[in-house]
Structure 1
């Protein structure tokens, strides 16, 4: 077990840099789930994620000689910004290797903090390999995003803050490489050993889930998930050993469930949270936990650095899945009044037209016909069924698309 004094020392070390984020009661999520839910809002951290804690603690402990050579790391984005911010604070060189598919938001944010960004590899593990090669060839200090004692201890300062504010029965923590849950579980078991720590992984990056269940390293062949912050292919044995000792369980959520949680947090909690940060809420919303109702549950919202394009996609898909948006196409006779006849029907049933596309030159059409495509704002499944019924009664054969 990492000594409690190490976490206290780290907290003092990062005190003037890191924001003590809110742990606040979530009334709507609590009412919906039957638990007392408290959200630890690390999405409101200075760099938009908890990673600043571990990165700063690690770099703060380097010698002057080590700092003079510069630092390097591999990251999908949040650790990158933590390292870049910390390096800028100490006035030292920082190189960050990111996977080629890293969202532009995270790339630009890292560059804005003064770090040099190199895009390499299809995922974190390939970027890590390239970064280690550069560290060796350029004699740079490598700052590991999760398999490093000082990084783990820095992340564990979250637990100290949570323990001071609320007495929690369970804490849900996102899991990728395992640095966050290693720190939080170690600190919690030192102070509040009866609190159960549950990890949450994405189905598209489930190596740690299978490793935990099988009690041995089980790497994945590939990763694919909207939760890019926890998209780790290979399991690090150091972190797995800590997790096996202090973590009580790990559950799994898929991308649809994660997207639903992101949208829920945006709509109901007014919080912008990235996919990785929303997995704990996804586990609650989709009943992944076998926990007695009425328990106090803390959920770590690990970050809020979501790409705007991804957020837009999640919103659009969420509106369709919740029957608040409907899209269809149908064929009209291409003559004056045809479109008005269709829109009159939609007006009478209270459907708001938000997009129209009129095409009369498609090679699939008969002469004199036109394809009309429409997107409607609707009020739920009953409203959509009414729209379908009225259009069918009027003789329209609609083809819905998503």
Structure 2
């Protein structure tokens, strides 16, 4: 047990800039989950995120001479604003290196708090390398976002506040995990004073670096990370944070994007706060844990860690929240291509509301329709709907958990191309900045013909694209090396059932 952190947490200097945030009872969530749910409102900090605690405590612990030279960090979001405001409060220089893909709202947020913004590189790694070079060339002190003892201690004050604000039975605390600074600080304090309380980490399934490290027994580097929950998009857990987590964290749960979007909606319903995806991560994990364990009447705390979300991104969150709550099913259904078929299909659906219907004529035998159906999980399951349709003679495939179907195909249905041969399909993420899409098209289209393309802006720092490329069988072996040279994250989707049903 890392007991040396207890004193560091108690002596942390965070309240010069941070506030003691409330622990709010969540009535709607509590009633629905049949447990006592408490939300730690770190979205109410001056920078709308818990990061201000660790940033300020790290800077204030520097010597006066080091502070006088100024500080530097690499961040695209919450840590950047925490460092900028902390430095402004102390009257010192703060250089914030941010990727060129950083949304304008976050750049303005840092500048408004007195930070000198340096836009460098397309990725965090490139920004980090430049920030570290400024340590050498300008004598600035680097302020680490998570893997630093003073940063961890600053975040640990959240655990101290939770135990002071809730003195009764405490069954579990759910904490979002990126690099591990927040959960390390909270876990060290809570497990020392309340060893009976569970500390459960929650990670986005596409950036689950702590879970991977726990399973391997050592820190590992994820080959790639998903960027939907950008506040926790970290490829490797911190060295010091992992040391603490191995001793103090009871379990790590992973959740998907839909479950996070549903949690954003849950927190809005209970607090009227619109959290960022990473800010709702812990709540998504709490819901998943309650469903899995079938527990009731327990005292559960979730951390609402931040609310720095681009307004444009809410479109995507809203669209996916119903899926995350189990209130919408996405299905591919084959119906006869003849008059009256759609009416008969609707009669089979019954009083269930159809939320989406996509179809285009292909041949005179069968029609494959892409349909969304509203569900009421309190009274019926998706499995029951599929069973009803199957019993009525329909061929049904469930696409509710199919990312390609939800991100792309639902906007492209009707694109069958029987005369296109040698088509392979890949899904990409690339930096969302002026000229990036054109650059992507130029790079991908130089060697083979592009036979299908879909892109939709989701208000995030990274664009998502699905591409069909005509590649002769004898040249398929060249694809991985060719795509690696482009430098974007990619996944092959040639065997994806949604693609085969609607687009191939």
**Equivalence for 2:49:** 49
User: 1:97·1:119 contact (CA, 8 Å) conserved in 2?
Assistant: yes
Of 171, 181, 184, which residue of structure 2 is paired with 1:182?
184
Aligned partner (choices 193, 196, 199) of residue 197 of structure 1: 199
TM-score normalised to the size of structure 2? 0.63
Q: Which residue of 213, 230, 238 corresponds with 2:232?
A: 230
Task: Indicate whether 1:258 and 2:260 are aligned.
Answer: yes
CA drift of 1:122 comes to 4.2
Tell me if structure 2 keeps the 8 A contact 1:123–1:232. Answer: no
Q: Per the alignment, in what secondary structure is the counterpart of residue 7 of structure 1?
A: helix
Unpaired runs of 5+ in structure 1?
A: 325-363, 365-377, 386-399
User: 1:309 is matched with which residue: 304, 308, 312?
Assistant: 312
Deviation readout 1:98-135 (Å, 9 max, x if unpaired): 23333332221111111112233444344322211222
Cα deviation for residue 289 of structure 1 reads 5.1
Inter-partner Cα distance in structure 2 for 1:246 and 1:55: 23
Sort the Cα spacing of 1:109 and 1:258 in 2 relative to 1 into closer, same or farther, 3 A.
same
Give the structure 2 partner of residue 297 of structure 1.
300
1:186-210 Cα shifts (integer Å, max 9, x gaps): 1112221221111001112112210
Q: Deviations over 1:154-179 (max 9, x none)?
A: 00000111001113211000000000
Q: Distance in 1 between matches of 2:246 and 2:99?
A: 29
**1:125 and 1:233 in contact (8 A); partners too:** no
Partner deviation per Cα, 1:236-280 (whole Å, 9 max, x = no partner) = 222111110111111101111111211222234322111111011
| 1:124–1:232 CA contact under 8 A, matched in 2 | no
Shift in alpha-carbon separation, 1:310–1:154, aligned structure 2, 3 A: same
Using CA pairs under 8 Å that are at least 6 residues apart, name the structure with larger relative contact order, 1 or 2.
1
Three-state SS of the structure 1 residue aligned to 2:206 is helix
SS of residue in 1 equivalent to 2:301: strand
Structure 1: 4+ residue segments shifted above 6 A: 378-382
SS in 2 for 1:14: coil
User: Using the alignment, how far apart are the partners of 2:20 and 2:284 within structure 1?
Assistant: 24
The alpha-carbon distance between structure 1 residues 121 and 213, as it changes in their structure 2 partners (threshold 3 A), is farther
What residue is the counterpart of 2:58 in the other structure? 58
Q: Which residue of 1 aligns with 2:458?
A: none
How far did 1:291 drift? 6.5
Q: Among residues 284, 287, 294, which one is paired with 2:286 in the alignment?
A: 284
Per-residue CA deviations over 1:261-318 (Å, capped at 9, x if unaligned) read 1122223432211111101111233347537322211101111111111122212343
2:221 and 2:236 in contact (8 A); partners too: yes
Instruction: Give 1:380 shift.
Output: 8.1
SS in 1 for 2:19: coil
Q: How many residues align?
A: 347
Contact 2:173 2:301 in 1 (8 A): yes
Cα separation, partners in 2 of 1:121 and 1:258, compared to 1, 3 Å = farther
SS in 2 for 1:286: helix
Distance in structure 1 (CA, Å) of the matches to 2:247 and 2:254: 19
Report the alpha carbon displacement of residue 150 of structure 1 after superposing the two structures with TM: 0.7
SS of structure 2 residue aligned to 1:244: helix
Q: Residue 110 in 1 paired to residue 110 in 2?
A: yes
Q: In structure 2, how many angstroms separate the alpha carbons of the residues matched to 1:290 and 1:133?
A: 48
Q: Distance in 1 between matches of 2:61 and 2:110?
A: 22
Instruction: Measure how far apart 1:401 and its partner are.
Output: 4.8
Please tell me the root mean square deviation across aligned C-alpha atoms, in Å.
3.4
Q: CA deviation at 1:68?
A: 1.3
Counterpart Cα distance in 1 of 2:97 and 2:91: 19
**Counterpart residue number, 1:350:** none
Structure 2 CA distance for aligned equivalents of residues 89 and 6 of structure 1? 22
Counterpart for residue 275 of structure 1: 277
Cα 1:92/1:286, change in 2 over 3 Å = same
Would you say the 8 A contact 2:55–2:151 is kept in 1? Answer: yes
Q: Structure 1 residues 213 and 100 mapped into 2: Cα distance closer, same or farther (>3 Å)?
A: farther
Change (3 A) 1:210 1:119: same
Q: Say if 2:171 and 2:196, in contact at 8 Å, map to a contact too.
A: yes
State the match for 1:171 in structure 2: 173
2:14–2:54 CA contact under 8 A, matched in 1 = no
Alignment-derived partner of residue 336 in structure 1 = none
Give the equivalent residue in structure 1 for 2:98: 98
> Cα 1:236–1:14, aligned 2, differ >3 Å: closer, same or farther?
closer
Deviates more, 1:120-129 or 1:35-44: 120-129
Where do residues 75-224 of structure 1 align in structure 2 (5 Å cutoff)? Answer: 75-166=75-166, 167=168, 168-224=170-226
